[in-house]
Structure 1
Amino acid sequence: MSDERLIERQCASELVLAGDFLQVRRDQIAFADGAIAQREYVVHPGAVVIIPVLDDGRLVLERQYRYPLGQVLLEFPAGKIDAGESRWTAAIRELAEETGYRAREWACAGVLHNAAAYSTELIEIWFARGLSAGPQSLDDGELIDLCLMQESELDALAAAGSLTDAKTLIGLLWLQKWRRGEWALTWQPAPAEAADPSTP
């Protein structure tokens, strides 16, 4: 079946807001039948989420206050991709900065779109194992509590409706499928400097 009748074509685009790292745009679009409509959306540079697996099987998670929601959320480590940075480099950097952990091995599980109706944001999913602990290097104003949890504990929170972060729920799904042998991961060694916790 062709997608042609579903495609919306941009006729005009207006920058509504230019923030420090987000933009809001308002576009006029045309449907295949010629009808006109409006779309408002957020332009985002993209992000990564990391599922860090300790040698004993526990997972490294974070508790962080999310201002738009006015509450603390439990999440896997994640962060935006800096300009000119590869997604893998971003994953290595974010894991080290937010948790202090460095990983010997990495595997990319794919990409998720967490708000496709109103944002260009994509989040690439990375697994990390062979972890070595080190100091966090948080940004100014960034407050993060680390939590070490069993998969079963995280699953129970999801079942109870207490785990609501989309990327963490999808990361948990990927973890469970991989551990059951249903979804495959291809592991690769980290660059030498990224696996060494003594490297600044």
Structure 2
Amino acid sequence: MATKTSAKRTPAKKAPARRSGKAKLLEQKLAYDGPLFKVWSETVEEPGGIVSNREIIRHNGSVVILAVDDRQSKRDPYIIMERQYRQAAQQFLLELPAGRREADEKPLAAAKREMIEETGYRARTWKKLVRYYASPGFLGEWMEIYLATNLTDGEAQPEDDEKIEILRIRLSELLKMRNEGQIHDGKTIIGISIYEALRRTGKA
């Protein structure tokens, strides 16, 4: 006599939440309208169906310039750096030159303008390294880092409220400072780390 066997049923699994696509904006209110950025209070239905209230800083985006001066040494070139006081951090910071993109300005054009204004240097060769979001939980600003090479000297044209000290620091010294935790600016850590990796693979 044949025996009956019962097949085990595999319990149905819930479909995974979407990890792509855009959120559906349900409500938006302007909380602050300043000269540099706007703050919006937004209610959104995020991918996956979760409804959330978010406070978002909207910004035109910023450019960062990793300017390499290898006229004296290609093995250990100088990197053009800035030292300035940052009230948000309540300290002086060592940084790569950077600035805000104007509303209708192309990022590369903004990078060239900012380098001339803040350092006086010009570059004949430009290469985009990366675009990233520094703090996407509440900040909509992206930062785009450019590698600038084949430099020529010039005179800086800073804005009236900018008190910037221009420094030329060897790449080896910057990497040592990074490794020892002496550089606290995120865009600078990212920029010199990418450049270091490119040099190791012969792509810079």
Q: Verify same fold: TM over 0.5.
A: yes
| 2:92 equivalent in structure 1 | 72
Q: Is the 8 A contact 1:14 1:25 kept in 2?
A: yes
Letter matched to residue 4 of structure 1: R
Q: TM-score, normalised by structure 2?
A: 0.84
Letter matched to residue 167 of structure 1: K
CA distance in 2, matches of 1:32, 1:112: 21
| 1:4 equivalent in structure 2 | 18
| 2:127 equivalent in structure 1 | 107
CA distance in 2, matches of 1:85, 1:114: 21
Letter matched to residue 52 of structure 1: A
CA distance in 2, matches of 1:38, 1:17: 16
Q: Is the 8 A contact 2:84 2:92 kept in 1?
A: yes
CA distance in 2, matches of 1:5, 1:25: 24
Letter matched to residue 52 of structure 2: A
Candidates 149, 152, 160, aligned match of 2:180: 160
Candidates 109, 126, 133, aligned match of 1:89: 109
| 1:16 equivalent in structure 2 | 31
| 1:47 equivalent in structure 2 | 62
Aligned length: 184
CA distance in 2, matches of 1:4, 1:89: 36
Letter matched to residue 28 of structure 2: S
Q: TM-score, normalised by structure 1?
A: 0.85
* CA drift at 1:30: 2.3
Q: Is the 8 A contact 2:25 2:42 kept in 1?
A: yes
Letter matched to residue 157 of structure 1: M
> Once superposed, what is the RMSD of the aligned Cα atoms?
1.9
Secondary structure class of the residue paired with 1:4:
coil
CA gap of 1:32–1:96, structure 2 versus 1, over 3 A, is closer
CA gap of 1:176–1:35, structure 2 versus 1, over 3 A, is closer
| 1:25 equivalent in structure 2 | 40
Secondary structure class of the residue paired with 1:173:
helix
Q: Given the alignment of the two structures, is residue 180 of structure 1 paired with residue 200 of structure 2, yes or no?
A: yes
* CA drift at 1:36: 2.8
Identity of aligned residues (%): 33
Structure 2 residues without counterparts, runs of 5 or longer: 1-14
* CA drift at 1:9: 2.6
* CA drift at 1:29: 1.8
Secondary structure class of the residue paired with 1:107:
strand
Q: Is the 8 A contact 2:64 2:143 kept in 1?
A: yes
Per-residue CA shift, 1:167-196, capped at 9, x if unaligned?
1010011110111126x46xxxxxxxxxxx
Structure 1 residues without counterparts, runs of 5 or longer: 186-200
Q: Given the alignment of the two structures, is residue 58 of structure 1 paired with residue 78 of structure 2, yes or no?
A: yes
Q: Is the 8 A contact 1:29 1:38 kept in 2?
A: yes
